Amino acid sequence: MIYLKTDEEIELMRESNLLVARTLAEVGKIVKPGVTTLELDKVAEEFIRSNDAIPSFLGYGGFPNSICTSVNDQVVHGIPSDKELKEGDIVSVDCGVLKNGFHGDSCYTFCVGEVSSEIMSLLKTTKESLYKGIEAAKVGGRLGDIGYAVQSYCEAKGYSVVREFVGHGIGHDMHEDPMVPNYGRRGNGVLLKDGMVIAIEPMINLGKKDVYLQPDGWTAVTADHKYAAHYEHTVAIRKGKTDILSSFEYVEQVLGNKAI
């Protein structure tokens, strides 16, 4: 069942998503060699709670922390740990909050110090593909248009698209219908309607598309151990315009010329 949102509900969802955006900026302030992902988690949780919201991920299906931190070959759902980040690493920080009864959800992949140009290209392409997907998310279009836009853009540059994890509808529940794959065929799938709110989140691999789950039951890792990137926005599909409810503006203000 797809729940269409009213204008009032979309404004509440914007509040949740802007809090996610500001949380990612707080995390971005301390991403550097020597910091642990548990320290990033602590900053995120405290910031979310100090803004009268609840971390959506904490306890979700038993997830132990407030953010997912996926380092290097970890694709998604990495569990924060006491291992220090080091120069040249990348870390995707996926964050969700529940505020006023609605969830926000967004993810940004950060560089730790200087990363190689090969990895920087992967990050740039993945982030650009997110905006290609958003451009395709128009009233009257189809879900497959979004996946096609992401997939064709990334594959043309030699990268591969993860199949096992996808974007999703979002609202009172963090994961609602429909599923939003990052691959697909144009003109295929669910009709996009005014009032749909979806999280679009390309997970793109430098090498092959295959991933496997680590024994912790959460962390997805690339099978070839090449790096993976992940960017996510929550988007409202409205007549006239596609409205990005989350934002990278805050995080990129913090990063300055180190923004992806």
Task: List interacting residues with Mg ion (CB under 5 A).
Answer: 94, 105, 107, 199, 232
Whole-angstrom distance, CA of residue 241 vs CA of residue 194: 10
- 104, amino acid identity: G
Give the Cβ contact number of residue 75 at 10 Å. Answer: 24
CA atoms within 13 A on the CB side of 30: 17
203-205: strand order across its sheet = 160-161, 203-205, 228-230
**Rounded to the nearest whole angstrom, what is the least distance from the CB of residue 114 to Mg ion in the complex?**
26
> Least Å distance between CB 87 and Mg ion?
26
- Helix or strand holding residue 150 (H, E): helix 143-156
Q: Which of 106, 14, 33, 112 is nearest to 67 (CA)?
A: 106
Element (H, E) at 199: strand 196-200
Q: Which is nearer to Mg ion, 160 or 246 (CB)?
A: 246
Give me the least distance between CB of 240 and Mg ion, in Å please: 25
CB of 99 to Mg ion, least distance (A): 15
Provide the residue type at 248 as one letter: F
**Of all helices (H) and strands (E), which one includes residue 108?**
strand 102-111
| Residue with Cβ nearer Mg ion (167 or 189) | 167
Q: From the CB of 63, what's the least distance to Mg ion, in Å?
A: 12
